[in-house]
A and B are shown apart, each in its own frame.
Chain A
Amino acid sequence: AQSVTQLDSHVSVSEGTPVLLRCNYSSSYSPSLFWYVQHPNKGLQLLLKYTSAATLVKGINGFEAEFKKSETSFHLTKPSAHMSDAAEYFCVVTILTGGGNKLTFGTGTQLKVEL
C-alpha cells in the first residue's frame, strides 16, 4: 500500500518570500513521487517528478523538491514566490504495478500569495 500526507491544507506567503509545501509518503516499494499543480477550474500540470535518479529534483517555474528517504519526505520549495504561483498543489506517489500505474494523491495544499 502507498499513501501521501500533505501536512498543511493551506499555506500563505508574501510575494518574493520562500515557499515550502510539505509532503510525507509511505510506500512498501521504491516509490516514484510527483508534484502537480492545479489552477482554478483547470486540469493538473506536472511540476516535477522523482524516479530514483538524483534526489534533488528541479521542476518548472523555479520549483524544486528533495527526496529524503530517511525522513520519507518530498517537500516542495521555491526561493521566491510569485503571484502566479497561487494554486492548489498535490503531492503524488506511485509504484509501477503489473496492471499499469495508479497515482495516489495527497489531499492538496492551497497556496496563497499575498502582495
Chain B
Amino acid sequence: NAGVMQNPRHLVRRRGQEARLRCSPVKGHSHVYWYRQLPEEGLKFMVYLQKENIIDESGMPKERFSAEFPKEGPSILRIQQVVRGDSAAYFCASSPTADTASNSPLHFGNGTRLTVT
C-alpha cells in the first residue's frame, strides 16, 4: 500500500515565481492536511481539506497561498509570487476520517522542500 506521496521532493524557485506542491493521499483517505516546517521549528498547521472542500484554512497566509483537493487527482498547495520567507519543508498528511485522535492518526508524506532564491 502506497503511503502519502508528495512531489516534488525538492523545489527551487526564484523570487516572484509560483510554486505548486502536490500531495496524493493514502488510497481511500478523503481528509488532507498541509503543514509547514520552518528551520529549527516544529510543524505548523496550514489548511485542512476534505474532498473538494476547504474545511479550515486558519493557518494559511491570506495572500499568495491557496489549496485545493479536487474530486479527482492530488491535493495542490499553490504559492504565488514566492518570497525567501516561504523557504520551508511542506508536509501533507491524510486520514480516512476527521477523527484522527482516536482511531486513525495522520499519515504523513516525506515533504517537499521549497527553496526560494
Contacts and interface: CB of A to CB of B under 8 A. Distances in A.
Nearest to B104: A101
Interface size class of B (residues with CB under 8 A): 20 to 34
B100 A94 contact: yes
Interface string A79-106: 0000000000010001110011111111
Interface residues of A, number: 25
Contact of B48 (A49, A100, A107, A108): A100
Given A32-B102, A43-B4, A44-B91, A99 B48 contact: yes
A101 B100 contact: yes
A90 B44 CA distance: 12
Interface string B74-117: 00000000000000000100010011111001101111010000
Interface of A: 32, 34, 36, 41-46, 49, 51, 90, 94-96, 99-108
